[in-house]
Structure 1
Amino acid sequence: MTGSAALALAAALALVATVAVVMRPRGASTVDFYLAGQRVGVATNAFAICGDYFSAASFLGVAAAVYATGLDGAWYAVGFAAGFVPVLLFVAAPLRRFGEFSIPDFLGRRLGSETVRLVAVGVVQLVILSYLVPQTVGSGITWELLVGEGVLGLDPYATGILASTAVVTVLVAFGGMRGTTWTQAVQFLLLLGALVWLAATVVAEGFHYGEAVESISSVPLDNPAGSTDGLTPEQSALHPGEPAVFGEPGARYGGLGQFALIVTLAMGTAGLPHVMNRYFTSPTGTAARTTTVWVLCLAGIFYSLAVMLGTAARDLIPAAVADRPWLAELTVDGVLRVPEHALPVLGRIFGEDAGLGVVAAGALVAVLSTIAGLLLAAAASWGHDVYERHINPRATQRQAVLAGRVTTLVTACAAAGLGLAMRPESFAAATPSIVATMVTWAFAVAGSALTPVFVLAIWWRRTTAAGAVAGMVAGLVVAVGMFTAGALTSGGLLREVLVTPTLLAAPVAVVTAVVVSRRTTPPADVERSWQTMHGTAADRRAERIARLMLAERRAARRWRRARR
């Protein structure tokens, strides 16, 4: 790693660490540790949610999927961004009004059942682990390209995984939700800044998106075939026997497969624990909804840039190989062996080693930010929902926070271990982007097992504890079963649907939950819960108090300025 690249990475990490230390929680209460005292403003929370959500799959994975499969890769961007539409319409405000610490906490109190809480904890942990693993893989890939050297006898890939996991675990355990919120907000701004800089640079060098798509689409789409030395032409899934083209759908998915992918990503968002937990930190339901509007706007900007840069990499990298010997090791006939290298390679082409450092720092920041949110969600789930309620109901606030910190360590070790076992080269020939594809698994579990029950509990009075448990189990079993079958299927339409199972698994979960709920008794306090979630005088009073507090702060600032 050159001095300029090391400097860019060190500066980014130093900034993040400083923010975590300065903004750490001052008290030892669980509300401070898990929810930042429920005083996070709209803009700050929106930036933090983006830092949570725009992970390695978004920064590296979307551009990589577009680079490898053209228009089919852009469906990842569509699905990731569209996921916040149902959150805005159906989840954000009612969830915040009801309150609590986590999804299992919400379901347990809403349905009056500890069984629901514990089943939800199990599903949440599976989602968290499924989401954590691709983040660790992304950190290994980035370290491998940026540093290229390992420590203590480890190879660069393993070193990247262990180093990034260790750093973020310490920051989360030390900073809690308050420190993590501000670090994630700063991390998102760094991430967006890296994308904007790279996009502005390639445009200034003469890149035109429309012309590039037309040029790339004039020849068949080829990709490296695993570990071989040649390129393999992609066959169109929509037009059998014809070659795939960059600017047309079908390079990886057929029509049903494309639809199933978007549904899986869009529905999965509302069940992601690390994202939904952030809504509990908003002061009011209205603030939670406004935050989601901000996130939708930021997501549109972010993913538009990612798609454009994936296209730019496919167009510009082949011509750069002749003048840059270092590219020969990363490419086969001008095509990158690892699609996730697309953005870092573009950064080095147009910014030399400093440019590589900026982009790689952005990628590692994306990884650290998302891992932080996931570890906090795991801590809330185990520390609050299991330890405080079942293992040690008489725990002090300090003991409960300590349990959350221990949970972050255990979860991080499990994710790092799985990441070390999943080498990118093992999946290169089967997926457009290993990082984006692996994250899709987490979205599928969340969208199949959690989101259907979650939405029913918010919008259907008749939902019961037995129905929720049956729905979560049914959705999880169908999703995992389809995944397993998809892994054993060679290809074609059947495999496309099996590896994106929410299109089938979510309706199964809904039907199961409704049928069982119809045969069982709903909670006794369902009307009170309904009024709390969907707007009450108390909520409006809380919003008025929040506005008055904000007005008082502004008046106090004006008074202090006038005194100077």
Structure 2
Amino acid sequence: MTAASIITLTAVLVIVLGVSFITRPRHSSTVDFYLAGQRVGVVTNSWAICGDYLSAASFLGVAAAVYVSGLDGAWYAVGFAAGFVPVLLLVAAPLRRFGEFSLADFLGRRLGSDAVRLSAVGIVQLVILFYLIPQSVGGGITWELLVGHGVMGLSPYATGVLLSTAVIAVVVAFGGMRGTTWNQAVQFLLLLTALIWLALVVTGDGFRYGQAVEQLSQEPLSNPAEGAQGWELQPETNHIDDGEAAVFGEPGARYGQLGQVALVVTLGLGTAGLPHVMNRYFTAPTGRAARTTTVWVLMLIGAFYALAVMLGTAARDIIPAALADHPWLERLTIDGVLRIPEHALPVLGRIYGGESGLGLVAAAALIAAMSTVAGLLLASAATWGHDVYERHINPHATQRQAVWAGRLTTLVAAATAAALAIALRPDAFTPAMPSLVATMVTWAFAVAGSALTPVIVLAIWWRRLSARGAVAGMLTGGALAVVMFTAGSLLEPAWWRELLVAPTLVAAPVAGVVAVVVSLRTTPPDDVEQAWRIMHGTAADRQAERLARLTIAARRAERHDAAGRRRTRLPRPGRRRNDAR
């Protein structure tokens, strides 16, 4: 571990902990802890959402997928970025206008059902777990490459998992949403800075994206695989043109036509069901601010993913030629191709910036993992602390007790994810998709897009949705998604396997149909029209609704005060006896 690595890691930890300390909540209020007082501005919130969303799967996984699969890997960037289009058009503003602490709380109140709330809690926790594990894996991979040794007898990989998860768990537990928001905003800016620096140095060295794709496409695409003689390069087969060799610049290196559509749909629909991203919209002051924030997010992540695709291509083009000048690459590559594709960006950083460049990119990767872990842990805390503890376990809990319940569940969720990430080493798992980190994140998107997104969209845009219909839809979509991608990960390659590993194309419509059919046979909530006006009414309607609620509350207060004054005027029996004397 060099001095540059030590300085870089120390700087990252100081920034993260310093921001959390400065912006920590001053009051033990659930609104402050979970929603930052609902006063987060558009620019800050857009940066924070990007920091929350652009995870290790985005920073390491997208570049790795492009590095391994060429054009097919770019579908990850398309799906991740496209996910905010349905959020902008269908979800963001109505969700914020309705206003709650979490997705489970929104569905439970909208449909007037504790069964809906608890079912959503279960699905949300499954999504969070599937998303947490690859972030911890990304932290372990980065530490293993950057530092190369562990502490207290642990392997370098396990040390990275535990360190990155533990630091951010403490930050979230004591900084709440306010500290997490500012941390994620700062972390996104650092992340983008690292990508921009890499893009500038590789283009300054003569790299041109179009020329590189054309040159890489001159030969069949091959990747390391473990065979009878050990590790060796094996050619990829084109999944569109059977029998043909896959090439970098043409589709088919990883997916057939159906698989490409299934992947984009899974990633696109999954975004609207991600609890750590959607919960951020409850922190916006208004529905208009939530929609404007989404526009900013679309622009920022579009730029980010364009850079990630370019740099994944640059790594594939540059690293083989760099072997002669950088002997350390021998232990990381097989015939010039990286054994672990998630090393693509850190290796580029070391080639062009030495240990300092490696430190910068590795720190950005740790930032990406920790930033998303922060959002996931906070979403887990909101779900358990508010939706379960406050509403069911201890309905009379004080604000301080509710906040501490959220903090405790944060630490438990972090420990669970770290343990599973250590058990699932990257080199012990052969993913069905080009990157382990991207593969596991796709599972989270699949469950979210299959179980939560159809029900959320129906709850916002269909008056007739009932509580039983929502529960049936969520359970059907979630179970079908888990069964499909589990089967797809175990079965031998085939054209239908591509649909199984990205199951939302099938599972989401099935969940929606089940929710509609069951809802038509059952009764919707009584207050549908009131909820509809809150989510969709014109500005005048919503203003009138707020004024009506304020008037009713004022009248109740007046009646309460009048009753109190009448009780005060009545003489007490003891006082009459004293007066008689």
Same fold judged by TM-score > 0.5? yes
Work out whether 1:225 is the aligned partner of 2:237: no
Paired residue for 2:167? 167
Shift of 1:4: 1.2
Paired residue for 1:185? 185
**8 A Cα contact 2:270 2:445, kept in partner:** yes
**8 A Cα contact 2:533 2:541, kept in partner:** no
Paired residue for 1:19? 19
Paired residue for 1:86? 86
Alignment of 1:300-339 (within 5 A): 300-339=302-341
Distance in 2 (alpha carbons) for counterparts of 1:78 and 1:386? 36
Paired residue for 2:157? 157
Residue type at the aligned position of 2:439: T
Distance in 1 (alpha carbons) for counterparts of 2:233 and 2:32? 54
Work out whether 1:255 is the aligned partner of 2:236: no
Provide, for residues 161-194 of structure 1, a one-character-per-residue CA deviation record: whole Å limited to 9, x for no partner.
Answer: 0011110000000100000000000000000000
Aligned length: 544
**8 A Cα contact 2:52 2:184, kept in partner:** yes
Match among 239, 242, 258 for residue 241 of structure 2: 239
**8 A Cα contact 1:4 1:357, kept in partner:** yes
Provide, for residues 214-264 of structure 1, a one-character-per-residue CA deviation record: whole Å limited to 9, x for no partner.
Answer: 000100000000473210000000011111000001000000000000000
**8 A Cα contact 1:226 1:429, kept in partner:** no
**8 A Cα contact 2:431 2:439, kept in partner:** no
Listed as ranges, the gaps of 5+ residues in structure 2 are 548-581
Paired residue for 1:421? 423
Paired residue for 1:108? 108
Shift of 1:485: 1.7
Paired residue for 1:54? 54
Q: Give the SS at the match of 2:273.
A: coil
Shift of 1:429: 6.4
Residue type at the aligned position of 1:451: T
Work out whether 1:9 is the aligned partner of 2:9: yes
Q: Give the SS at the match of 2:434.
A: coil
**8 A Cα contact 1:65 1:74, kept in partner:** yes
Q: Give the SS at the match of 1:28.
A: coil
Shift of 1:480: 1.2
Distance in 2 (alpha carbons) for counterparts of 1:121 and 1:181? 23
Residue type at the aligned position of 2:195: L
Paired residue for 1:485? 487
Residue type at the aligned position of 2:143: W
Shift of 1:484: 2.3
Distance in 2 (alpha carbons) for counterparts of 1:16 and 1:187? 8
Distance in 1 (alpha carbons) for counterparts of 2:238 and 2:65? 16
**8 A Cα contact 2:534 2:542, kept in partner:** no
**8 A Cα contact 2:384 2:409, kept in partner:** yes
Shift of 1:477: 1.4
Shift of 1:537: 4.1
Provide, for residues 388-408 of structure 1, a one-character-per-residue CA deviation record: whole Å limited to 9, x for no partner.
Answer: 000000000000000000000
Q: Give the SS at the match of 1:524.
A: coil
Alignment of 1:463-502 (within 5 A): 463-502=465-504
Distance in 2 (alpha carbons) for counterparts of 1:440 and 1:183? 25
Alignment of 1:409-558 (within 5 A): 409-428=411-430, 430-537=432-539
Residue type at the aligned position of 1:452: P
Paired residue for 1:401? 403
Paired residue for 1:559? none
**8 A Cα contact 1:97 1:535, kept in partner:** no
Please say which of residues 220-229 and 306-315 is displaced more in the overlay. 220-229
**8 A Cα contact 1:478 1:505, kept in partner:** yes
Residue type at the aligned position of 1:99: G
Residue type at the aligned position of 1:45: N
**8 A Cα contact 2:25 2:33, kept in partner:** yes
**8 A Cα contact 1:5 1:355, kept in partner:** no
Relative to structure 1, the CA distance from residue 23 to residue 112 in structure 2 (aligned partners, 3 Å threshold; closer, same or farther) is: same
Relative to structure 1, the CA distance from residue 319 to residue 539 in structure 2 (aligned partners, 3 Å threshold; closer, same or farther) is: farther
Distance in 1 (alpha carbons) for counterparts of 2:80 and 2:433? 18
Alignment of 1:276-287 (within 5 A): 276-287=278-289
Shift of 1:5: 2.1
Provide, for residues 306-360 of structure 1, a one-character-per-residue CA deviation record: whole Å limited to 9, x for no partner.
Answer: 0000000000000001111110000000000000000000000000000000000
Shift of 1:489: 1.2
- Larger radius of gyration between Structure 1 and Structure 2: 2
Listed as ranges, the gaps of 5+ residues in structure 1 are 546-564
Distance in 1 (alpha carbons) for counterparts of 2:433 and 2:81? 21
Aligned-CA RMSD value? 1.4
Q: Give the SS at the match of 1:70.
A: helix
Distance in 1 (alpha carbons) for counterparts of 2:458 and 2:292? 23
Alignment of 1:262-301 (within 5 A): 262-301=264-303
Distance in 2 (alpha carbons) for counterparts of 1:460 and 1:470? 16
Q: Give the SS at the match of 1:152.
A: coil
Shift of 1:367: 0.5
Relative to structure 1, the CA distance from residue 231 to residue 430 in structure 2 (aligned partners, 3 Å threshold; closer, same or farther) is: farther
Provide, for residues 430-460 of structure 1, a one-character-per-residue CA deviation record: whole Å limited to 9, x for no partner.
Answer: 4311000110000000000000001000000
State the TM-score, normalizing by the size of structure 2: 0.92
Residue type at the aligned position of 1:6: I
Residue type at the aligned position of 1:205: D
Paired residue for 1:360? 362
Shift of 1:297: 0.1
**8 A Cα contact 1:277 1:377, kept in partner:** yes
Paired residue for 1:211? 211
Paired residue for 1:348? 350
Q: Give the SS at the match of 2:231.
A: coil
Distance in 2 (alpha carbons) for counterparts of 1:291 and 1:411? 29
Identity %: 73
State the TM-score, normalizing by the size of structure 1: 0.95
Shift of 1:541: 5.0
Distance in 1 (alpha carbons) for counterparts of 2:7 and 2:220? 41
Residue type at the aligned position of 1:342: A
Shift of 1:49: 0.2
Paired residue for 1:555? none
Residue type at the aligned position of 1:477: A
**8 A Cα contact 1:97 1:539, kept in partner:** no
Shift of 1:481: 1.3
**8 A Cα contact 1:43 1:291, kept in partner:** yes
Shift of 1:8: 1.8
Distance in 1 (alpha carbons) for counterparts of 2:186 and 2:541? 30
Q: Give the SS at the match of 1:229.
A: strand
Shift of 1:487: 2.4
Paired residue for 2:372? 370
Distance in 2 (alpha carbons) for counterparts of 1:150 and 1:23? 32
Relative to structure 1, the CA distance from residue 248 to residue 474 in structure 2 (aligned partners, 3 Å threshold; closer, same or farther) is: same
Relative to structure 1, the CA distance from residue 539 to residue 350 in structure 2 (aligned partners, 3 Å threshold; closer, same or farther) is: farther
Provide, for residues 524-543 of structure 1, a one-character-per-residue CA deviation record: whole Å limited to 9, x for no partner.
Answer: 0000000000134478659x
